[in-house]
Amino acid sequence: MMSQEQNDLITRIGPKDPCGRLMRKYWQPAALVDELQGARPVRPVKLLGENLVLFRDEHGRYGLIERHCAHRGADLAFGRLEHGGLRCAFHGWLFDVSGQCLETPAEPKGSNLCRNIRQRAYAVVEKSGILWAYLGEGEPPAFAEIDCFVAPESHTFAFKGHMNCNWLQALEVGIDPSHASYLHRFFEDEDTSTAYGKQFRGASAGSDMPMTKILREYDRPIINVEQTEYGLRLIALRELDAERTHVRVTNQLFPHGFVIPMSTEMTITQWHVPIDDENCYWYAIFTSYTTPVDKKKMREQRLELYELPDYKSRKNKSNDYGFDAQEQLRSTYTGMGADINVHDQWAVESMGPIQDRTKEHLGQSDKAIVQYRRLLRQEIEKVASGEPPMLFLDASNARSIQGPATMDGIGPTQGWETFWMEVDVKRRRGAPWVAPVPEEIAAKVHLSAAE
Ligand code: FES
Ligand SMILES: [Fe+2]
């Protein structure tokens, strides 16, 4: 069990909070590129508890600046996008993407007032369909060369969704392999050929057994957790019989992401980005190793649940997440429909805005969560004592973080340890883009090029 102080330490992300200082060492997803389309590319953004406004100027440069105007605090999200920046609608002060004030038009002619006026501003870069911001001090880190950043634009698709809870409990559902056997249980299996774009609905690699059947019938996974250079690797084993074992390999990507298989062709890299202490967005990049991603279909599927402009779920606390007692009796474990995003959302929001970890009771199946929290505390302490935390990369070591490998498939009960790596390596070698085989895995797997 945890004290209130410990829970506060690992959940709160304001500028002065120790975990907030850790989070400010990393690039954070601030918006989807899609959100800055249209005639007026200006969006209010709340990130790590800070109120900001994101815009694209006439030259195509992105700016992320403090939302309240440096003059007398009016809301720049309603500003006019013109003359090389964003102009406050109150007295016309104009700010560029660096936050520099360019004009104070109500001041007497020849006034120099604007020279020394600066709106707080953060660096923004575009990568794989997401606009990333760096809210920390000093030089930002380099991006790791993981698949979702290396794959071509045609093979990635980005989306996001709102969750009305603290970022940590949202992340922890992603490093909890046993919940899928309960929360996402379906009492009947669907035709796996209609599974495109959906998680846990296809067939497991190396078999025609639907994932829904495996999760339902083998509900006490053995969970192995290994520490890696990028966070944690989780291997969940469901032994089907003496010959066959279902293996699922997922990863915690430090600090607040995970990388998991979605289907045999795609992975999901997902971050749980704090809006403030009690709300977060998940941002996901879907990466395909085979054919280009059908972005239209992926977007349409997700827009059935999420409503623009805030990417909030149509099924939420206000309508009991669509709960139907008859459905819970007959077809799903939750009674909340077939979309597993709704299940996860209910699970993490129903804990309350910030889960009270002083009252929880953890078991063996929570071991990845326990290990992750230890790692998080350790890295928070590093930052507090002035050291760089893990995955704070520079250009020379960004290349060392590749992959990471994921897998969901049926392998041999004796020998699954190398089997899952072989499946991952074959998939990378078959990709039409250069998907690097992580060094650590290349050293352990010896497949001939023809295989
Ligand atoms: S408050 Fe923005 S220009 Fe006056
Ligand atoms: Fe889940």
Q: Does residue 237 lie in a domain region?
A: yes
Question: Treating both helix axes as pointing N-terminal to C-terminal, what angle do 367-384 and 4-11 enclose, rounded to 10 degrees?
Answer: 80
Mean pLDDT of all residues in 246-264: 95
Query: Hey, which of 91, 95, 103, 113 would you mutate to test ligand 1's pocket, going by the most ligand atoms within 8 Å of its Cβ?
Result: 91
Q: Does residue 22 lie in a domain region?
A: no
* pLDDT category of residue 192 using cuts at 50, 70 and 90: confident
With tokens 């971050």, the residue in question is: 271
Dihedral over alpha carbons 99, 105, 109, 110 (to 10 degrees): 0
234: CA distance to ligand 2 center in Å?
15
Q: Is 91 in the pocket of ligand 1 (CB under 6 A)?
A: yes
341 Cβ neighbours under 8 A, 6+ residues apart: 161, 305, 313
214: CA distance to ligand 2 center in Å?
15
CA dist 174 → 41, 247, 269 (Å) = 33, 16, 11
Same domain, residue pair 274 and 387: yes
Same domain, residue pair 416 and 365: yes
Q: How far apart are CA 35 and CA 21, in angstroms?
A: 27
Q: How far apart are CA 169 and CA 191, in angstroms?
A: 32
pLDDT in tens, 388-434: 999 999 988 888 899 999 999 999 999 999 999 999 999 999 999 99
153 residue type, one letter: E
Structure tokens at 330: 């007959």
Mean pLDDT of all residues in 202-206: 77
Same domain, residue pair 170 and 60: no
| CA atoms within 13 A of residue 252's CA, in its CB half-sphere | 32
pLDDT exceeds 60 at position 234:
yes
Helix (H, G, I), strand (E, B) or coil at 18: helix
CA dist 240 → 89, 90, 314 (Å) = 65, 67, 38
The CATH number of residue 234's host domain is 3.90.380
Q: Does residue 21 lie in a domain region?
A: no
435: CA distance to ligand 2 center in Å?
27
Q: How far apart are CA 75 and CA 407, in angstroms?
A: 47
Q: Is 88 in the pocket of ligand 1 (CB under 6 A)?
A: yes
Q: Which atom of ligand 1 is nearest to the CA of 76?
A: 2
- Give residue 177's pLDDT: 97
Q: Does residue 319 lie in a domain region?
A: yes
Helix (H, G, I), strand (E, B) or coil at 320: helix
What is the DSSP pairing of strand 145-146 with strand 402-403? parallel
Q: For the chain, what is the mean pLDDT?
A: 95
Q: Count Cβ atoms within 10 A of the Cβ of residue 231 and give its class: 0-12 exposed, 13-18 middle, 19 or more buried.
A: buried
Q: Is 69 in the pocket of ligand 1 (CB under 6 A)?
A: yes
Q: Count Cβ atoms within 10 A of the Cβ of residue 102 and give its class: 0-12 exposed, 13-18 middle, 19 or more buried.
A: middle
Q: Is 305 in the pocket of ligand 1 (CB under 6 A)?
A: no
Same domain, residue pair 183 and 61: no
Q: Is 71 in the pocket of ligand 1 (CB under 6 A)?
A: yes
Same domain, residue pair 195 and 120: no
Q: Is 107 in the pocket of ligand 1 (CB under 6 A)?
A: no
244: CA distance to ligand 2 center in Å?
24
Mean pLDDT of all residues in 188-192: 84
Query: Which region among 18-27, 111-120, 204-213 has the lowest average model confidence (pLDDT)?
Result: 204-213
Q: Is 90 in the pocket of ligand 1 (CB under 6 A)?
A: yes
Q: How far is CA 21 from the centre of its chain?
A: 19
Check whether the bond before 141 is cis (ω within 30° of 0).
no
pLDDT in tens, 270-313: 999 999 999 999 999 999 999 999 999 999 999 999 999 999 99
User: How many residues make up the chain in this entry?
Assistant: 451
63: CA distance to ligand 1 center in Å?
18
**Chosen domain end from 99, 134, 169:** 134
Q: Does residue 352 lie in a domain region?
A: yes
Nearest protein CA to atom 4 of ligand 1, as residue: 91
- Give residue 450's pLDDT: 42
42: CA distance to ligand 1 center in Å?
17
Residue 382 has phi, psi (to 5 degrees) of: -60, -45
Are 45 and 54 within 8 A, CB to CB? yes
The CATH number of residue 55's host domain is 2.102.10.10
| CA atoms within 13 A of residue 418's CA, in its CB half-sphere | 8
Q: Is 101 in the pocket of ligand 1 (CB under 6 A)?
A: no
What is the DSSP pairing of strand 94-95 with strand 85-87? antiparallel
* pLDDT category of residue 448 using cuts at 50, 70 and 90: low
pLDDT exceeds 60 at position 350:
yes
Same domain, residue pair 164 and 95: no
Domain limits at 130? Answer: 27-134
295 Cβ neighbours under 8 A, 6+ residues apart: 157
**Chosen domain end from 134, 165, 188:** 134
Helix (H, G, I), strand (E, B) or coil at 396: coil
343: CA distance to ligand 2 center in Å?
7
Nearest protein CA to atom 1 of ligand 1, as residue: 72
Same domain, residue pair 297 and 408: yes
Structure tokens at 430: 């078959």
Q: Which atom of ligand 1 is nearest to the CA of 104?
A: 3
**341 alpha carbon, closest ligand:** 2
Mean pLDDT of all residues in 125-132: 98
**Chosen domain end from 110, 134, 158:** 134
pLDDT in tens, 32-80: 999 999 999 999 999 999 999 999 999 999 999 999 999 999 999 999 9
Q: Which residues pair with 312 in a beta bridge?
A: 307
**pTM, rounded to two decimals:** 0.96
Q: Is 93 in the pocket of ligand 1 (CB under 6 A)?
A: yes
Same domain, residue pair 295 and 376: yes
* pLDDT category of residue 172 using cuts at 50, 70 and 90: very high
Q: How far apart are CA 258 and CA 147, in angstroms?
A: 13
Nearest protein CA to atom 3 of ligand 1, as residue: 91
User: Into how many domains does the chain fold?
Assistant: 2
Structure tokens at 380: 């928070």
